[in-house]
Amino acid sequence: MKKIKTSKNSETIMTEIVCPNDTNPMGILQGGRLVQWMDIASAICSQNHAEHICVTASIDSVKFKTPAKVGDIITIKAKVTRSFNSSMEIFVQAWAKKILSQKAYLINEAYFTFVALDDNAKPAFVPAIKPSSEAEKKEYLNALKRKNSRLKNN
């Protein structure tokens, strides 16, 4: 019988601080560094869900909304929206917070797809997801549409 989990079981929250070596010459967080952090949070989330090593298969529609700057605290939240046979879609949001004002704002969001691997680096089955809230149910249904769109465009 296939194991069933909720998104909450593997939800991952990761925190970073923007240091000078993470920025461009204007003191703005480099997009590549942020995507790297988001990828790490997604990997942790997917591996906790799958109980296997997982690798990045794709990243959809990375949207840079507002820049973060040196000294900002970055909070990255990763959550499985749906699992398939050996793959999972992870929704990731990145928030920046100004230290002095304590104001947090969304700076980026994206959908990552990860594949679970067994000890022989072959795809491994992953637990199913049971959505809990209405928002999770909507993400769950839309995940299949996004997957089909990815497959169609490849």
The reported pTM is 0.93
Query: For 4-153, which CATH class?
Result: alpha beta
- Cα separation, 99 vs 83, whole angstroms: 37
pLDDT in tens, 96-119: 999 899 999 999 999 999 999 999
Residue whose C-alpha is closest to residue 93's, from 49, 135, 50: 135
Q: Is 138 in contact with 12 (CB distance < 8 Å)?
A: no
| Model pLDDT, residue 14 | 98
Task: Break the chain into its structural domains and give their ranges.
Answer: 4-153
- Cα separation, 100 vs 3, whole angstroms: 45
Measured CA to CA in angstroms, residue 52 lies from 12, 114, 145 at distances of: 16, 11, 25
pLDDT in tens, 6-49: 888 899 999 999 999 999 999 999 999 999 999 999 999 999 99
Furthest-apart CA atoms within the chain: distance in Å: 54
